Structure 1
């Protein structure tokens, strides 16, 4: 039987180890030792190190995306909604340490890591919903909003990779401004 306290200890230990050593330099042995359990017991709770990284990242990330959706919806103008969406996704969330951990995890994952794209699919749905809220009269079809959400996630991933490589987001500033203008012109 799985014990929730053990699972939480593993996630807490992984958070500490990933933060101190980075994803790539953290081993299951380190996580297990820090959690006070055995490496084999870690695998009782998680199929792979990638799954552990997602468990560390997901609550933080879902909270940020949820708060971003509220801010987008509450804003008064389409221009401001786009600005909030771009700032939230690319200057705030993609520019954080937890995002770097996830990017490292996904970049080094292979088929044996049993990656499940649940968080990715959820993210794309949330972004598509925000796009439809930007200007309800813009005429975004569901297919267009879904496709654009997918593209925005790809941009997000690229910016997070740049952050991982210590490349400042300012290097991408002109592209983000252009992207905001493109989204506003649709409306």
Structure 2
């Protein structure tokens, strides 16, 4: 029975922390506020979590993992590889940064005050970067997959994610747009056939139905 009470107390601390981080942000939330909201003493908070930094990571890791797993499920259902890649980019750079009132900003605020000596654990970010790399690999033709071999694309994707998360609070107008997603898709996959030089697209009608026709234009001398 004592163990159940301890588990409930820990859950209450995490629940209170989540509510306060959502409302005030990481920097403006204190451990004393967390204790009062959870209905426990400040000393009890320290028994379960040595710092506010540890609390936010305890909340963020499963939060982010759930969103990555949802993205993987959604991506697997999109057969068109360009549309799948576009969905991945928009979810990672636009939707997740904005999710739940920009909850991911809390982790950026927490990290901004930490150093290597504070015990930062890179396990979660390494897992995320691998998932992103694997998702992108599934969208690319085999000849372009060597671009992903060193994992740098996944790393760059997450560095950009951090920037879009921060901009949610500083400059919402700098959110990821569909044009940005399309530009990255063009970089990784090449431009769609109907946007390449020498290709003209026109609409024709056949038996009362509109169809798209691609016409090769003569190359200029």
Shared fold, TM over 0.5:
yes
Kept in 1, the 8 Å contact 2:81–2:139? The answer is yes
Aligned to 1:49: 52
User: d(CA) in 1 for partners of 2:115 and 2:43?
Assistant: 20
> How far 1:84 sits from its partner (Å)?
0.9
Distance verdict in 2 for CA 1:24–1:79, change over 3 Å: same
Aligned to 2:164: 159
> How far 1:173 sits from its partner (Å)?
5.6
Kept in 2, the 8 Å contact 1:50–1:113? The answer is no
- What is the total number of aligned residue pairs between the two structures? 186
Q: Given the alignment of the two structures, is residue 20 of structure 1 paired with residue 20 of structure 2, yes or no?
A: no
Kept in 2, the 8 Å contact 1:131–1:145? The answer is no
Alignment root-mean-square deviation, CA: 2.4
CA deviation vs aligned residue, 1:38-62 (integer Å, no higher than 9, x gap): 2232222223212211222222221
Kept in 2, the 8 Å contact 1:128–1:145? The answer is no
User: d(CA) in 1 for partners of 2:33 and 2:153?
Assistant: 40
Higher strand share: 2
Aligned to 1:181: 186
Aligned to 1:29: 32
Kept in 2, the 8 Å contact 1:124–1:149? The answer is yes
2:26 is paired with a residue whose SS is: coil
CA deviation vs aligned residue, 1:113-166 (integer Å, no higher than 9, x gap): 432222211111111111121135344248536110000000000111111214
1:48-87 equivalences under 5 Å are: 48-87=51-90
Q: Between the two structures, name the one with larger relative contact order (CA 8 Å, sep ≥ 6).
A: 1
TM-score (norm 2): 0.74
Rg: which structure is higher? 2
Stretches of structure 1 lacking an aligned partner (at least 5 in a row): none
1:140 is paired with a residue whose SS is: helix
Which runs of 4 or more aligned residues in structure 1 lie more than 6 Å from their structure 2 counterparts after TM superposition?
A: none
Kept in 2, the 8 Å contact 1:24–1:104? The answer is yes
User: d(CA) in 2 for partners of 1:53 and 1:102?
Assistant: 7
User: d(CA) in 1 for partners of 2:190 and 2:36?
Assistant: 54
Q: Which among 3, 7, 11 is matched to residue 8 of structure 1?
A: 11
TM-score (norm 1): 0.87
Aligned to 2:145: 140
